[in-house]
Amino acid sequence: MLGPSSLPSLDPSGSQIDELSDGVKLNGGIIIDDVHSIRVLDPQVTRTSEQLRSECSAYVEKIQKFDSMVSQHLEVISRLASEVNKYKISTIGCQNQLESISKQRETQRLQLQALILEKSMELERLKVQNLSLQKTESEQQDIVNEILAHK
């Protein structure tokens, strides 16, 4: 095998041969690199392409990680939203129960007030009846006393 240093400075057709740091460039763009492989692209272009490919791969990996993180965050947010909705519904149920209990107590209070009023009226009626009966008893006692006094 011929290395870049063993090649003549002219190729068989008489064309100029350029020596590169990475190999020898023949006329027509063909390159023999330092490991004696024939290349069509300039080694610098190949290195740049490989570097770009590597950077693109790293970028794709970062995007995939980012996508994964976003997916995880969305799952967490979705679970939290579900829990919040559950607590929200539970809270609304509790509020409705409290309102119901409050209305029941108000109804019960009004019923008790009506019962108290009814009993107060009955008490007044019974007091009047008692006074009337006491008056009648007193009158009857007076009549009995008069009858006994005349005998």
For the segment 35-50, what is each residue's pLDDT rounded down to a tens digit? 777 777 777 888 899 9
Task: Quote the CA–CA distance of 88 and 145 in Å, as a whole number.
Answer: 83
Decide if 82 is inside a domain.
no
pLDDT number for residue 24:
61
pLDDT number for residue 8:
42
Decide if 139 is inside a domain.
no
pLDDT number for residue 151:
74
pTM equals 0.48
Decide if 127 is inside a domain.
no
For the cut 50, the answer to whether the pLDDT of residue 78 exceeds it is yes
For the cut 50, the answer to whether the pLDDT of residue 14 exceeds it is no
Task: Quote the CA–CA distance of 52 and 59 in Å, as a whole number.
Answer: 10
Q: What is the side-by-side strand order in the sheet with 38-39?
A: 18-20, 23-25, 31-33, 38-39
Decide if 17 is inside a domain.
yes
C-alpha gyration radius of the chain:
57
For the segment 85-122, what is each residue's pLDDT rounded down to a tens digit? 999 999 999 999 999 999 999 999 999 999 999 999 99
How many domains is the chain partitioned into structurally? 1
Decide if 111 is inside a domain.
no
pLDDT number for residue 52:
97
Decide if 86 is inside a domain.
no
With beta carbons less than 8 A apart as the criterion, state whether 20 and 43 touch.
yes
For the cut 90, the answer to whether the pLDDT of residue 12 exceeds it is no
Decide if 60 is inside a domain.
no
Decide if 137 is inside a domain.
no
Domain with 2, as residue range(s), is 1-40
